Amino acid sequence: MAIAYDSTAALAIVTAGDEHFELQSWSLRAFHNIFKKEYKGTYIKMNLVEQNIAGNIFAVAYQDNGRFYVSVVDNKGGELDNLDVTEHLGLDTLSKPITGFWEPMITCCFIENDDLFIQVYHRLHKKQYHFTYSYTKHDNLSNTIITANRDPSCTQKNFPVKSFYSTVTKNVLTFYRQGFCQTVNPAYPAETRIEKITDKDLGNMYLLFD
């Protein structure tokens, strides 16, 4: 769940099995359902709701049995874009979900000008693909950058947990389950580095004070 930054709604991802997920919005003032957006497929994984700084546009990165997507909706439930990232990047569908985990191997976050930073991780090839994207123009804002994690401690069970954009450093940081962090400058996405933070598994995390 997430609270909208304008404090008017709670956003929740709910599921009825692996084939049916919903993004639901509930009013924190009138206590009624604002919208329900359905996502149907074969083997879906989604677990995070991202939002712009105004709290009125939301993005959900998800996958369906190895196919990656980013859905962007407004605060009334209208879908502004649904990007098929797999087709967009020409990826194969071998990087499927890991049973027992909700993470979809893809994360996104809003950056400057309400644009999106999107990264998808191919866990079998141990590669991150990332680019910046405009959901209003339905087009890339940058080239796609591919980086491989060659650390021997990175296994095929590694995956991204969450991406954050810092308005202070102007960087996007993507944290991985097996203790890695990949830092990208979204203005120049080729400026990227991978660091090992810890040998422990990372779990839920939050960004405080940018």
**For the domain bounded by 2-196, which CATH number is listed?**
2.130.10.10
Tell whether pTM > 0.85. yes
Quick: pLDDT tens for 180-189: 999 999 999 9
- Predicted pLDDT at 207: 82
pLDDT given at position 204: 83
With cut-offs at 50, 70 and 90, classify the pLDDT of residue 203. Answer: confident
pLDDT (mean) for 24-36:
97
Per-residue pLDDT tens over the stretch 133-173: 999 999 999 999 999 999 999 999 999 999 999 999 999 99
Q: pLDDT > 70: what percent of the chain? A: 100
Position 64 confidence tier, pLDDT thresholds 50, 70, 90:
very high
Question: What average pLDDT score do residues 84-90 get?
Answer: 97
So what's the pLDDT on residue 157? 94
**Residue 204 or 18, more confident:** 18
Per-residue pLDDT at 205: 83
Distance between CA atoms of residues 35 and 89, nearest Å: 31
For residue 210, what pLDDT band results from cuts at 50, 70 and 90?
A: confident
**DSSP-derived secondary structure for 78-114:** -EEEEEEHHHHHT--S--PPPTT----SEEEEE-GGG
Quickly tell me which residue has 């359905």 as its tokens: 38
Question: What is residue 206's predicted lDDT score, i.e. its pLDDT?
Answer: 84
